[in-house]
Chains A and B, each alone.
Chain A
Amino acid sequence: MTNIYSTAAEMASALAAKEISAVDLTKQHLDRIASVDGKLHAFLHVDSEGALAQAEAVDAKRAKGETLSPLAGVPIAVKDILAQKGVPTTAGSKILEGWRPPYDSTVVAKLKAAGVVILGKTNMDEFAMGSSTENSAYGTTQNPWDLTRTPGGSSGGSAAAVASFEAPLAIGTDTGGSIRQPAALTGIVGVKPTYGGVSRYGVIAYSSSLDQVGPFGRTVLDTALLHETIAGHDERDSTSINAPVPQVVAAAKRLDVKGMKIGVIKELSGSGFQAGVSARISESLELLVAAGAEIVEVSCPNFEYALAAYYLIAPSEASSNLARFDSMRYGLRVGDDGSKGAEEVMSATREAGFGKEVKRRIILGTYALSSGYYDAYYGSAQKVRTLVKRDFESAFAKADVLVSPVTPTTAFKIGEKSNDPVAMYLSDIATIPVNMAGIGGMSLPVGLAEEDGLPVGLQIMAPLMQDDRFYRVGGTLEAALLSKWGKPILSNAPDLMVQK
């Protein structure tokens, strides 16, 4: 029977066979949100009316015998950084409270055109700056595995929604790990596509040379189905790649890694990673070897500088991108009593509308770009970016895909790192190099850490525009893990999520 615990692929075939209507499936998910989101706070806005209207339209088209997209009628949750016409879009910031975009982002438009039912907008760190959702101006999202822990971030709301069966699929964005890290911490699949693989039009910009939109799902195939739905060239995004979309659905179904070379990155293993994380990664590698893959060790000596470079490049680009929030055309305006000039009103609005981390990054970026410091900071960071790219190039000369843990630890406690920015930044140490080079990466759940029973993610990386490779490896490993465990990883989660 099809219900909220089914995979998106199962939902899609049940819908196509008219065993369930899109309206019924949508109602089941809205009921689930109503019953559990009070504890999780994954959603900032639930659009029941819009979702039901979309579902009715899909059912009507199906009744008429129209040809529909593979995911037509399947519900989804969308990170609140993507503009959706007429629906509140805040990017987790007070400065956009109450804003309803007059247009759709390309990804939202593609979802609507494919009949994917948008349930609502999910919580996130303000402007995607953070790794825990604690920087949201609207409160923190809880991890469905343990409500005292963070689901990761910045796309933590999207990840928590999928892991808790509020939605089978979700959209996130990933600038330094913001899809892969929350996927790892909640036990689901998350993909950062190759830079330029998915349009950024209508996605509120944080760091434009690093930002990328991507899919979340509970299985590799579900994630691939969503990936193909949202990917492709868009003339409204000048950095969008004008080439065929990698065949990720076919790759996810291939279930064969014979002869593939899997590169283990020496610098992203061993000390610095929680023992239970390393144990699950080693076990996964054994399964891949059993499936016919070959393991090779590769070295990426410059990765240790990637984190530092990221925290110069991203704030620099952010300080420029966030200049658009000037209180003149949309969003919050503070102190406009007729006596103050535009610049005073701007400064007062930005003081009131931006949170602490956003201000910190704006000031840091302004500093790194200022004359006298530009070469020493931003310029040096751009050189490190070259070195990181070269490390990947030499590693991919020896291996078809590269692997590492996604995160140094399992989900951390809410509040544990919120007063120590540098410690928080370290949670992205394994994910950042991927964004710097623009390549794609997947986070695949590979089991629970023995010491705390929390999910562990394996990161699988492939060269530019070869996203199908990590779907192939991910799909094969997922099948091997499933036959080993006998049940999906999420069935180990606590009461909140377990099928009654």
Chain B
Amino acid sequence: MAAISRDDVAHLAKLARVEMTPDELDHMATELDQILGAVKRVQEVATADIPPTSHPLSMSNIFRDDVVKPSLTNEEALSGAPAKAEERFKVPQILGEE
């Protein structure tokens, strides 16, 4: 049985905010199924007694002094904006119609 179906991929694409054409969905489902088939080998050795490693260095709570330093100007921060208005990023409608 396939580990991942076309419907699964459509759902994941929606979660990841990537639109996909029906053709892309077909291809992606087949490819992901092959890739998952190859990577699920990790389960062969991942027994309960082995602790996970999320990062190569064990560091935590790295702080620096809370000092105000020069940073980007408003103009610089907006320099790459696809749209701007009144010194702010202008974005498409976020909430539904009132």
Binary CB contact string for chain B from 41 to 80 against chain A (1 if under 8 A, 0 otherwise)? 1111111001111111101001010000000100011011
CB <8 Å contact, B91 and A377: no
Q: How many angstroms from the CA of A34 to the CA of B72 in the assembled complex?
A: 35
| Known contacts A238-B59, A332-B82, A422-B35, A305 near B18 by CB under 8 Å | no
Collect the chain A residues with CB atoms within 8 Å of residue B81's CB.
329-330
For chain A, the count of residues having a C-beta within 8 Å of the partner chain is 70
Q: Which residue of A lies closest to B45 (CB)?
A: A305
Collect the chain B residues with CB atoms within 8 Å of residue A382's CB.
52-54
| Known contacts A311-B38, A341-B93, A386 near B59 by CB under 8 Å | no
From A196, A308, A329, A364, B57 is in contact (CB under 8 Å) with: A196
Q: Please give the distance in Å from B50's CB to the nearest CB on chain A.
A: 4
Q: Which residue of B lies closest to A309 (CB)?
A: B42
Determine whether A366 belongs to the interface, using a CB cutoff of 8 Å to chain B.
Answer: yes
| Selected interface stretch from A69-77, A179-187, A355-363 | A355-363
CB <8 Å contact, B18 and A235: no
From B31, B43, B51, A360 is in contact (CB under 8 Å) with: B31
| Known contacts A209-B54, A326-B17, A421-B31, A380 near B92 by CB under 8 Å | no
| Known contacts A102-B72, A309-B42, A333-B82, A359 near B34 by CB under 8 Å | no
Determine whether A340 belongs to the interface, using a CB cutoff of 8 Å to chain B.
Answer: yes
Q: Which residue of B lies closest to A238 (CB)?
A: B62
Determine whether B12 belongs to the interface, using a CB cutoff of 8 Å to chain A.
Answer: yes
| Known contacts A209-B54, A437-B56, A351 near B82 by CB under 8 Å | no
| Known contacts A308-B38, A360-B31, A366 near B15 by CB under 8 Å | yes
Determine whether A354 belongs to the interface, using a CB cutoff of 8 Å to chain B.
Answer: yes
Determine whether A298 belongs to the interface, using a CB cutoff of 8 Å to chain B.
Answer: no
CB <8 Å contact, A366 and B12: yes
CB <8 Å contact, B52 and A342: no
CB <8 Å contact, A328 and B89: yes
Binary CB contact string for chain B from 81 to 92 against chain A (1 if under 8 A, 0 otherwise)? 111000001011
Collect the chain A residues with CB atoms within 8 Å of residue B51's CB.
383, 386
Binary CB contact string for chain B from 5 to 39 against chain A (1 if under 8 A, 0 otherwise)? 00011001111111110001000100110111011
Q: Please give the distance in Å from B75's CB to the nearest CB on chain A.
A: 9
Collect the chain A residues with CB atoms within 8 Å of residue B43's CB.
376, 380
CB <8 Å contact, B32 and A362: no
CB <8 Å contact, A102 and B77: yes
Collect the chain A residues with CB atoms within 8 Å of residue B45's CB.
302, 305, 383-384, 387
Give chain A's interface secondary structure class.
Answer: helix
Q: Please give the distance in Å from B84's CB to the nearest CB on chain A.
A: 10
Q: Please give the distance in Å from A381's CB to the nearest CB on chain B.
A: 5
CB <8 Å contact, A99 and B39: no
Collect the chain B residues with CB atoms within 8 Å of residue A196's CB.
56-57
Q: Please give the distance in Å from A231's CB to the nearest CB on chain B.
A: 15
Q: Please give the distance in Å from B93's CB to the nearest CB on chain A.
A: 5
Q: How many angstroms from the CA of A466 to the CA of B90 in the assembled complex?
A: 49
Q: How many angstroms from the CA of A98 to the CA of B68 in the assembled complex?
A: 31
Q: Please give the distance in Å from A99's CB to the nearest CB on chain B.
A: 5
CB <8 Å contact, A386 and B52: yes
Q: How many angstroms from the CA of A366 to the CA of B17 in the assembled complex?
A: 11
Binary CB contact string for chain A from 322 to 349 against chain B (1 if under 8 A, 0 otherwise)? 0100111111110010101111111110
Q: How many angstroms from the CA of A438 to the CA of B58 in the assembled complex?
A: 11
Collect the chain B residues with CB atoms within 8 Å of residue A312's CB.
39, 42
Q: Please give the distance in Å from B67's CB to the nearest CB on chain A.
A: 11
Collect the chain A residues with CB atoms within 8 Å of residue B4's CB.
367
Q: How many angstroms from the CA of A384 to the CA of B50 in the assembled complex?
A: 8
Q: How many angstroms from the CA of A342 to the CA of B91 in the assembled complex?
A: 7
Q: Which residue of B lies closest to A337 (CB)?
A: B92
CB <8 Å contact, B80 and A308: no
CB <8 Å contact, A331 and B82: yes
CB <8 Å contact, A343 and B28: no
Collect the chain A residues with CB atoms within 8 Å of residue B44's CB.
305
From A209, A235, A241, B55 is in contact (CB under 8 Å) with: A209
Determine whether A27 belongs to the interface, using a CB cutoff of 8 Å to chain B.
Answer: no
- Within A396-426, which residues are at the interface with B (CB < 8 Å)? 421-422, 425
Determine whether A32 belongs to the interface, using a CB cutoff of 8 Å to chain B.
Answer: no
From A333, A341, A385, B53 is in contact (CB under 8 Å) with: A385
- What are 25 A-B pairs at a CB distance below 8 A? A102-B72, A195-B56, A239-B57, A305-B41, A308-B38, A308-B40, A308-B42, A311-B38, A328-B89, A329-B80, A341-B96, A343-B17, A347-B14, A347-B17, A347-B19, A350-B17, A350-B19, A363-B18, A366-B16, A370-B12, A376-B40, A377-B39, A383-B53, A422-B34, A438-B57
Chain A interface (Cβ < 8 Å from any Cβ of B): 99-103, 195-196, 209, 235, 238-239, 241, 302, 305, 308-309, 311-312, 319, 323, 326-333, 336, 338, 340-348, 350-351, 354, 359-360, 362-364, 366-367, 370, 376-377, 379-387, 389, 421-422, 425, 436-439, 464
Query: Knowing that A195-B57, A238-B62, A329-B89 are A-B contacts, what are 20 other residue pairs whose CB atoms are under 8 Å apart, sorted by A's residue number?
Result: A100-B79, A196-B57, A238-B59, A332-B82, A333-B83, A342-B93, A343-B17, A347-B14, A363-B12, A364-B36, A367-B32, A367-B36, A370-B15, A377-B36, A383-B53, A385-B52, A389-B56, A421-B31, A421-B35, A439-B56
